Amino acid sequence: MMLLMLGLGHASAPVEVRERVAFSGQGLAMGLSKMVSRPAILEGAILSTCNRTELYAVVTSLAAGKEALRAFLLEERDMPAEVFEEFFFFLEGDAAIRHLFRVSGGLESQILGEGQILSQVKGAQAAAQLHRTMGSVLDSLFRFAVTAGKRVRAETEISRGAVSVSSAAIELAKETMGGFDDKVIMILGTGKMGELAAKQLPSYNLRKIYVVNRTMESAEHLAERIGGEAVPFHAMRDALERIDMLICSTGAPHYVLTPSEMKSVIASRKGRPLLVVDVSVPRNIDPALGNMPGVTVYDVDDLQLVASRNRSERQAVAEEAEAILDSEISGYRTWLKNYRMTPTISSFRSKAHALREQELNRFWDKNAHAFTPEQRQLIDAMTQAMTNKFLHQPLSSLKGMNALQQHHHASALRTLFDLEVEDFQEHYLRRNGDSFPTHTA
């Protein structure tokens, strides 16, 4: 049983590849189910954001697990093998553990210290729990990783300043336009990314902010909070003629604006510059729109200039964060090491308590009428306490050993006490069976 991660991110793949493999909504639910339906995959979780898609799995073996994850992704996303080989990468064991902790801490984000990724890691854990694809190993991994991410943000200044894709988009737009004074801006989409961008705009000397969403109620709610004007989705054409910048993040799985749809709008603008910033993955703005007169289109990959500057300024803080992550990673490794000892520990406990009950029953047989029921209860409780005291020291010592020492001492324990120890993988499947209906049929 091994931990494996298959993924790609902003550092390894451009947005046109990332958007092809993104999982969300019902697609995420179906993906999780299909992922763990493969016999080699015992547990599964999918972390999918604008900058990454990562599959975390507990697998029966590395070779079988890699092939299963590869086949799942190629089939689920109808992806050519050459695209997979060029952009995806595997991480095993400790490398996969450290990677998730770095992701949760914001150290693997395009914008170093990004705050939104922590809630996305929590969301990936919640989705896997909801769809019963996450067992003890991944649940504990994500739990430790979330704790690490919280500590990094609480104990360092990594979240100070522009630390989200939305804030970086605003910063890039401001630099491109030479400031926002007297500008008219449209927010298209009121999801998390759009909301984060919108919240920053009232601090600038803007002439107007339009908020557009397919659900008018959502547009009105956000517009009211930022002092903007809500515009119905079907009526945004007139507003598009008047704006200087469009920030788009609708969550739609397709383009919502294309050159053919914008042709009359661009003609009406008569060459007046329009900056479009698309922070969606999959992209909501057809990049060909950037070929039209006066139009500049940026997507999430164009935020690299802001990201590089951000990373350079925060290098010292990142080193502090790494030290916190080391501590939490050590905690998870200790948990995992001891978890693997569960069959031996359970067998030792069972043997000790079985001997206690055997000897106590023999004692009752010889002294059937010598004690009252209350006295029998006291003696039973006392022998249980004595047995637990006897077990405490050796088991505490066993848990405190490194993996090699544990292996040797657990082997000696099995021999000395003639323990019948369940195979770990069988024990694991039995304990986690309710999480994996696919594997227990």
CA distance 264 to 22: 32
pTM of the model: 0.76
The CB-side HSE value for 380 (13 A sphere, CA atoms) comes to 12
Tokens at residue 169, please?
A: 């988009």
CA distance 20 to 265: 29
DSSP state of 38: S
Please provide the average confidence, as pLDDT, over all residues in the chain. 88
DSSP, residue by residue, 174-237: HHHHT--TT-EEEEE--SHHHHHHHHHGGGS--SEEEEEESSHHHHHHHHHHHT-EEEEGGG-H
Give strand ranges (E) for 286-365: 295-299
CA distance 8 to 13: 6
CA distance 65 to 59: 5
Q: Are the C-beta atoms of residues 103 and 85 closer than 8 Å to each other?
A: no
CA distance 300 to 13: 12
Q: What is the mean pLDDT of residues 149-154?
A: 94
119 C-beta neighbours (distance < 10 Å), count: 12
Q: Is 332 exposed, middle or buried (0-12, 13-18, 19+ CB in 10 A)?
A: buried
Burial readout 235-270 (b: 16 or more C-beta within 10 A, e: otherwise): ebeebbbebbbbbbbbbeeebbbebeebeebbeebe
CA distance 128 to 113: 25
List, for residues 9-66, the tens digit of each pLDDT value: 998 899 999 999 999 888 999 999 999 999 999 999 999 998 899 999 999 999 999 9
Tokens at residue 292, please?
A: 């039209």
Q: What is the mean pLDDT of residues 142-146?
A: 97
CA neighbor of 233 nearest in space, from 218, 244, 222, 245: 218
List, for residues 71-112, the tens digit of each pLDDT value: 999 999 888 899 999 999 999 999 999 999 999 999 998 888
pLDDT of residue 431: 60
Q: What is the mean pLDDT of residues 378-395?
A: 88
List, for residues 256-288, the tens digit of each pLDDT value: 999 999 999 999 998 899 999 998 888 999 999
CA neighbor of 429 nearest in space, from 143, 142, 135: 135
Q: Is 416 exposed, middle or buried (0-12, 13-18, 19+ CB in 10 A)?
A: exposed
The CB-side HSE value for 180 (13 A sphere, CA atoms) comes to 20
Q: What angle do CA 164, 7, 30 make, to 5 degrees?
A: 95
CA neighbor of 136 nearest in space, from 40, 3, 46: 3
87-91, 196-200, 271-275, 302-306: which is most confident = 87-91
Q: What is the largest CA-CA distance in the chain?
A: 106
DSSP, residue by residue, 371-411: S-HHHHHHHHHHHHHHHHHHHHHHHHHHHHS-HHHHHHHHH
pLDDT of residue 247: 93
CA neighbor of 9 nearest in space, from 67, 115, 91: 91
Considering 50, 146, 201, 398, which one is annotated as catalytic?
50
pLDDT of residue 155: 93
50 is catalytic: yes
Q: What is the mean pLDDT of residues 119-148?
A: 95
List, for residues 398-441, the tens digit of each pLDDT value: 777 777 787 778 788 788 888 777 666 665 666 665 555 444 43
DSSP, residue by residue, 48-73: EETTEEEEEEEES-HHHHHHHHHHHH
CA distance 231 to 110: 32
List, for residues 225-263, the tens digit of each pLDDT value: 999 999 999 889 999 999 999 999 888 888 999 999 999
**Pairing between strand 245-248 and 274-278?**
parallel
CA neighbor of 135 nearest in space, from 374, 441, 365, 437: 437
CA neighbor of 152 nearest in space, from 123, 110, 118, 124: 118
CA neighbor of 45 nearest in space, from 116, 134, 178, 160: 134
Q: What is the mean pLDDT of residues 333-356?
A: 83
- Give me the sheet containing 245-248, strands edge to edge: 229-232, 208-213, 184-188, 245-248, 274-278, 295-299
